[in-house]
Amino acid sequence: MSEPATPQAVQAPAAAAPAKPSIGDIFLAFLLIGATSFGGGAVAYLRSTLVAKKQWLDDKSFLELFSISQSLPGLNTTNMAILAGDRLTGWLGSIAGVLGIILPGAILMTIAGFVYGLHGDRPLVTAALHGVAAAATGLILATFIQLARKTLRSWTDVLFIIIAVVAVNWFHVSVLYALLGIAFVATLVYHPRRPDKFVPAESTTE
């Protein structure tokens, strides 16, 4: 009597790749960012949503897109929505992202402008706005620390940061000119050198 065939080993299923977001997912994500972010703290909300929660981008991709958005005219948040949407699903994602992020602000700022015109001179309103500004500054700092831990590779990177801060804040250089100047210098510093030409060893005669 023949022996029973040995059953084949069951292979573990491969880890599923993260699902590609739909146009609706992108619109809802940026709609939530636009409705819950305050002031400059929008950068922190963008990273928290796109990198930490949704995992649609990694820190390197996020920093690249953010650098491009800083170099372009317009608001950083809308630029990021366009660039991130295009990276995820193409031009339709760009449209969904920018509509989602500007719609809450357009509605809320219309209401806030009307209310502020009526009650903007009250001390409680002014105090609340100061508190929101301080919180937004803290969110930006927290986001910078998180990105710096993963992207700063040497003291040269830190030097570029210091130069940018000094140029913009002390010497009042335009942000665009500061970024272009640092980009030029960084290209020279980080550009890979060409490998030395291979020189064949001379043949020896016996």
Any idea where the domains of the chain sit in the sequence? 23-151, 153-190
For 122-142, the pLDDT digits (tens) are: 777 777 777 877 777 777 787
Predicted local confidence at residue 38, as pLDDT:
66
User: To which H or E segment does residue 181 belong?
Assistant: helix 175-190
**Percentage with pLDDT > 70 across the chain:** 79
For 202, residues 6+ apart whose C-beta sits below 8 A from its C-beta are none
Predicted local confidence at residue 119, as pLDDT:
63
Which amino acid type is present at position 166?
A: V
CB 46 within 8 A of CB 77: yes
Mean pLDDT of 150-162: 84
pTM: 0.63
Predicted local confidence at residue 142, as pLDDT:
77
CB 39 within 8 A of CB 72: no
DSSP string, 83-136: HHHHHHHSHHHHHHHHHHHHHHHHHHHHHHHHHHHHHTTSHHHHHHHHHHHHHH
* Selection from 66, 83, 30 nearest residue 146 by Cα: 66
Calculate the dihedral angle through the C-alpha atoms of 73, 76, 78, 84, rounding to the nearest 10 degrees: 110
**Which of 73-77, 94-98, 180-184 is most confident?**
94-98
Helix (H, G, I), strand (E, B) or coil at 9: coil
Residue 50 phi, psi (nearest 5): -75, -35
